[in-house]
Chains A and B, each alone.
Chain A
Amino acid sequence: ETGVTQSPTHLIKTRGQQVTLRCSSQSGHNTVSWYQQALGQGPQFIFQYYREEENGRGNFPPRFSGLQFPNYSSELNVNALELDDSALYLCASSAGGRGGPGETQYFGPGTRLLVL
């Protein structure tokens, strides 16, 4: 069974650029959630996708957007990068209906984004 994978591992961008981060969910999982973890903080929920539709969103501006594909892999896109976007971006997948409150989320290793 393959776990959650993310690419790239590290990324350096400059302010104003756009970035796409990728996540492959664990086999059998149909829900993907994205989190932003600033240095020294706990992860903050960005949004969640279930069967290719957005299922919920945290307190992040519209320049944070996402996609989920038929194979349940997912992308996180961030436009007009700001210095404060520098963080570890974590993807988590879960099984069952809409990643409900009973469903454990399994995390990938994350993508470290640095915005200069």
Chain B
Amino acid sequence: AQTVTQSQPEMSVQEAETVTLSCTYDTSESNYYLFWYKQPPSRQMILVIRQEAYKQQNATENRFSVNFQKAAKSFSLKISDSQLGDTAMYFCAFMTNSNSGYALNFGKGTSLLVTP
């Protein structure tokens, strides 16, 4: 079974501070992709960042960066200079080819609250 585990149900950070969200996954596939999605209270799922498993360099998108540890099957998200608009549910997901097609496998999410 392919699973994604987000061990932090809720986190809080002050505005302008840095926060790291954890994610571990389990797959026997060698070719896969990892994603972080953000779901604000408006509920639209928005892509934050993606990482190809074959790339050793960690992905970065402005204030968002990942720490990808392939051997440990770990894929954490770091948010720098947190802003109030970062308040949302954050989902870690991976995608690989399987009998179920190219489906995203999601974790249960981490609820992030950014406070003034």
Contacts and interface: CB of A to CB of B under 8 A. Distances in A.
Given A88-B43, A107-B45, A108-B44, A101 B33 contact: yes
B96 interface: yes
A45 B97 contact: no
B109 A57 contact: no
A8 interface: no
A42 B46 contact: no
A55 B102 contact: yes
B75 interface: no
Interface in B76-116: 91, 93, 95-109
B100 A58 contact: yes
B52 interface: yes
Contact of B100 (A41, A56, A107, A110): A56
A104 B47 contact: yes
Interface string A82-116: 00000010101000001111111111111000000
Contacts of B47: 104, 106
B102 A48 contact: yes
A93 to B, nearest CB: 12
Given A42-B91, A42-B109, A90-B45, A105 B97 contact: no
Given A42-B109, A109-B42, A104 B103 contact: no
A113 B115 CA distance: 32
Contacts of A101: 31-33, 95-97, 102
B35 interface: yes
A106 to B, nearest CB: 7
Contacts of A103: 102
B46 A48 contact: no
B101 A99 contact: yes
Contacts of B105: 45
What 9 A-B pairs are tightest by C-beta distance, nearest first? A56-B101, A42-B106, A107-B45, A45-B103, A48-B101, A55-B101, A56-B100, A99-B102, A109-B44
Given A56-B100, A100-B97, A107-B45, 5 more contacts: A33-B103, A42-B91, A56-B102, A98-B102, A101-B102
